[in-house]
Amino acid sequence: MADYTLEEIYSLLKDPKNNLHTKISYSNLHKTNNRAMTTTIGKVWFSLLLPVDYPFVKEQVNKKKLNVILNDIANKYNIQTASDTLTKINKEGFYLTTINPISFDKDSFNVPPELKKRAKELLDVNLPPEKFVENINILGNEYLEWLKATDNGLYYIVASGAKFNASELGTLLFAAGPFVGIDGVISKPTKGCVNDGYNLEDWYRSSDQSRYTLFVRAVGTAEPGALGREVFYSNSNIQLDPSSDCKVKKYLELTITNSIRPIINGRYYLNEKTNNLEIINEETVLPSNSTIKLRSPIYCKQPNNNICSICYGTLGDRLNTKNIGLLSGTIINLAGIQGYSMKLRHQSSQVNLIPVDFKKQMILI
């Protein structure tokens, strides 16, 4: 049973016999309630980067999980603590890679014979494009499992969310599949891939898709960028007025769903049973599909381009800034450029074939 410091963890990793997956015994007053547990060096290392009394994280941490943890830290502590934690993870992560780097070489892309045989069974150019793409994804996932079983460094890079995904591995190693041309027409499936090389027909087909990618870059970044900039400017004078209440009587009527419920914590709503404003927290009972009246910046009447703390909610207490307009404008601008333009550019090199469920789509609209 032992507790560790970062220096002791780094000392363990400098031993050639150890790596991030080496099992060790660990206990900590705050993180494990002094109970001994068997875990990996990597998980202990990550736990030491979090606040002293933050619970031990047992599951694998990828990009999505890291966002969840940082948001949790911001809610339990404050924005500054979350920012300091991210800075520490960034700094120590770079140092860790100098001691125990995860890497892969060209042999990582040597597909095992059993998967090559399976690819011949699954990849028939006479299949409908959507089925062909589905089979490419199946092969990509099976290859990822093979990497995991062989403890290949490429698996850990993909699993972390840093690079590649199963679909991209499938198109890289097994078949490129259908392409999208400059006219938006989807080609017949291509059995060639980058790993094995293209024949002449496949190469020309892929070059047609390259022109489509350039077209998307040209038309898909300028307009969202200009719009995002205008939104930023128009919000720049809006500030948070702390400890104020505009007492507006108009509310945003909001239907509670599973996706909305986690993001309205800290907001104020009208409890119609008591006719009082109450703050929403983890203990607040809000049944799914029920409708609540939410105080919202949309209807805030605070003068001088300000928003009152009740309409804005308790997020303002954790931001350490009054310039919420600048903050909102920046986020909207990033969402427009990264979430739309950049995403569209990356997806322009892929074919996303999804069966259409009109009833479901109409409900979402």
Residues 43 and 94 in one domain: yes
Of the three residues 99, 123, 145, the one that is the final residue of a domain is 99
Task: Flag whether 138 is in a domain.
Answer: yes
317-333 core/surface letters (b: 16 or more CB in 10 A; e: else): eebeebbbbbbbbbebb
Residues 202 and 159 in one domain: yes
Residues 197 and 256 in one domain: no
Residues 146 and 76 in one domain: no
Task: Flag whether 83 is in a domain.
Answer: yes
> In sequence order, what are the beta bridge partners of 39?
24
Q: Smallest Cα–Cα separation from 41: which of 69, 2, 71?
A: 2
3-state secondary structure 89-136: HHHHHHHHHHHCCCCCCHHHHCCCHHHHHHHHHHCCCCCCHHHHHHHH
Amino acid (one-letter) located at 256: I
Q: Which residue segment(s) compose the domain that 188 sits in?
A: 106-220
Q: What is the pLDDT of residue 201?
A: 83
Residues 82 and 158 in one domain: no
Residues 45 and 80 in one domain: yes
Q: Is residue 327 within 8 Å of 238, Cβ to Cβ? A: no
Q: What is the pLDDT of residue 196?
A: 86
Task: Flag whether 192 is in a domain.
Answer: yes
Residues 129 and 210 in one domain: yes
Task: Flag whether 156 is in a domain.
Answer: yes
Say whether pTM exceeds 0.75: no
Q: What is the pLDDT of residue 351?
A: 52
Distance CA 66, CA 44 (A): 15
Task: Flag whether 59 is in a domain.
Answer: yes
Distance CA 9, CA 100 (A): 11
Residues 155 and 188 in one domain: yes
Amino acid (one-letter) located at 308: C
Q: How many domains does the structure of the chain reveal?
A: 3
Distance CA 313, CA 267 (A): 4
Distance CA 126, CA 257 (A): 42
Residues 131 and 71 in one domain: no
Token duo for residue 218: 């040209």
Task: Flag whether 61 is in a domain.
Answer: yes
Give pLDDT tens digits along the chain (365 positions). Answer: 488 999 999 999 999 899 898 999 999 988 888 888 999 999 999 999 999 999 999 988 988 899 899 989 988 888 889 989 999 999 999 999 899 888 888 888 899 999 999 999 999 878 888 899 999 999 999 999 999 999 888 988 888 887 888 888 998 999 988 887 777 777 888 888 888 888 888 888 777 776 666 766 666 667 777 777 787 788 888 899 888 899 999 999 999 988 888 889 899 999 988 999 999 988 888 888 999 999 999 999 999 889 999 999 988 877 777 888 888 877 777 766 665 555 554 454 455 554 444 344 444 43
Residues 53 and 139 in one domain: no
Question: What is the widest separation between alpha-carbon atoms in the chain?
Answer: 74
Task: Flag whether 335 is in a domain.
Answer: no
Task: Flag whether 326 is in a domain.
Answer: no
Residues 92 and 112 in one domain: no
Here the CATH number for the domain that contains residue 171 is 1.10.132.30
Residues 93 and 171 in one domain: no
Other CB atoms within 10 Å distance of the CB of residue 111:
18
Q: How far apart are the first and last CA of the chain?
A: 56
Distance CA 359, CA 312 (A): 35
